[in-house]
Amino acid sequence: MDVISVIRTKRDKGELSPEQIDWVIDAYTRGVVADEQMSALAMAILLNGMNRDEIARWTAAMIASGERMNFDALSRPTADKHSTGGVGDKITLPLAPLVAACGAAVPQLSGRGLGHTGGTLDKLESIPGWRALLSNEEMLHVLDTTGAVICAAGDGLAPADKKLYALRDVTGTVEAIPLIASSIMSKKIAEGTGSLVLDVKVGTGAFMKTIEDARELASTMVALGTDSGVRTVALLTDMSTPLGLTAGNALEVRESVEVLAGGGPRDVVDLTVALAAEMLAAAGIKDADPAKALKDGSAMDVWRRMIAAQGGDPDAALPVAREQHVVTAPSSGVLTRLDAYDIGIAAWRLGAGRARKEDPVQAGAGVELHAKPGDTVTAGQPLLTLHTDTPEKFDYALGSLEGAWDIAPAGTPFTATPIVLDRIA
């Protein structure tokens, strides 16, 4: 077996054999296959796809590259959630403590930013002292004592995915449905959660631009989970407009705390409650009211304990970018479009994301929104505020915002897109 023949098979639109898949995943994990060779294979997969048998075998090989966890010793049923990534998608932050407050255990293994989408771990690392890297023993302790944990997957859990995940981010292969599905499900199945709710984003700010592609990805992942004994359901949710009013690490943490305090933007609250209801149902927990737990402070209590258990200070001031630039509305009327992808690229260019897998991110960088589609705006009023520590990046970020919004004449009817578009189980 050699990597060139594997690359050529997929380059020429062939089907990879189980033996080829098992070998290339194992060889890449051990360093026998170089990053540039796996990059070529990932691009061939992006362009030519994989069938269901290939995806299932690729996922199984990723799982087999490491260990599997088990939560049978916990007194609570486990439920996890995964988002395919979006702009302003801070939902995990209020969701994990909310579901824990309602009686489930939430072992939330999260990742870092991919391309224009933010990463949960990058956001939480803006909290002074907070640690993403926990041993299996530490993870179980936090989960057992607080009900929820948000952390990075350990080195022993699907290590092949850890290498490939970072590589996809910098090689233009993030959008490959087989690689997205196998990446997510290999970690979630190896993690050992009893149930899983998938938040599959659809729209300009998502990796899946069309409802058809989103359904294909969701169906693939639901099948992978179900076949592995994990109760799995997917919601297709809108990502044509950024979620909430912020895109950026510390900015999104602040907004998440507002939600846990009983406030926050309506779309963030609605999606958090909808996903919580699905997670609790999948875990077999009945009669819990996530909306009530969000308002009565119980979810906030779990948040504070969870952050402190991972070394963070829930009362510490969050980082603030040294420089700001205000973008004003060019005309008066109704804001009918605010493109999520353009906002995400602007946040990335300001320093909230990374261009290479080893790049640091700026905790305070990002974009703050002062209006959402459907709002009436006046010429000259603030539309966006850009945040960064490196003001020379403002022009670079502003370039991505050309054509990012539409403003229609006052009185133009506007119908908002529902946040949840479909459900697949």
Rounded CA separation 260/293 (Å) = 9
Measured between alpha carbons, how far is 162 from 153 in angstroms, rounded to an integer?
8
Answer yes or no: are the C-beta atoms of 284 and 118 closer than 8 Å.
no
> Left, alpha or beta for 371 (phi > 0: left; psi -120 to 50: alpha)?
beta
Q: Are 295 and 263 in contact (CB under 8 A)?
A: no
DSSP 8-state secondary structure symbol assigned to residue 254: H
Calpha distance 138→149 (Å, rounded): 10
Q: Is 378 exposed, middle or buried (0-12, 13-18, 19+ CB in 10 A)?
A: exposed
Cα dihedral 381→386→391→396 (10° resolution)? -100
Active site residues: 82, 161, 168, 183, 187
Neighbours of 198 (CB within 10 A): 26
